[in-house]
């Protein structure tokens, strides 16, 4: 994709908080009271296909991210195939 001026892959990393149940046991339904117990480093990959330069992006992009176009009133919205 870089040949065509697109950036595809980003790496995110940081420290994630780990938690432990306060009462010492977990429940089958996944609901329990927990407290922070430490942190661990993480690294993950995010794949996004977007132009590497802002000028190549469409009007649907903004500085806060992409936005979905709204269909005019009375027109059904587009659905992905």
Amino acid 71: pLDDT: 42
Which band of pLDDT confidence, cut at 50, 70 and 90, is reported for residue 59? low
CA 45-13-5 angle, to 5 degrees, is 45
Q: What is the domain count for the chain?
A: 1
On average, the pLDDT of the chain sits at 72
B/e letters for 33-71, b = 16+ CB within 10 Å, e = fewer, are eeeeeeeeeeeeeeeeebeeeeeeeeeeeeeeeeeeeee
**Is 62 part of any domain?**
no
Q: Do the domain assignments include residue 49?
A: yes
More confident position, 52 or 43? 43
Using the Cα atoms of residue 57, residue 59, residue 64 and residue 66 in order, give the sign of their dihedral.
negative
Would strands 61-62 and 34-51 be described as parallel, antiparallel, or unpaired?
unpaired
Mean pLDDT, rounded, for 9-36: 86
Looking at the chain, the whole-number percentage of residues with pLDDT higher than 90 is: 22
In a domain, 61, yes or no: no
Look up the domain containing 39 and give its range: 1-24+33-54
66 versus 2: which is more confidently predicted? 2
Of 30 and 1, which is predicted with more confidence?
A: 30
């Amino acid at each position: 994709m870089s040949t065509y001026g697109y950036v595809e892959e980003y790496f995110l990393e940081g420290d994630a908080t780990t938690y432990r149940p306060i009462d010492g046991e977990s429940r089958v339904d996944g609901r329990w009271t927990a407290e922070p117990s430490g942190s661990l480093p993480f690294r993950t990959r995010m794949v996004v296909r977007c132009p590497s330069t802002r000028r190549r992006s469409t009007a649907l992009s903004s500085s806060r991210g992409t936005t979905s176009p709204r269909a005019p009133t009375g027109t059904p919205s587009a659905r992905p195939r």
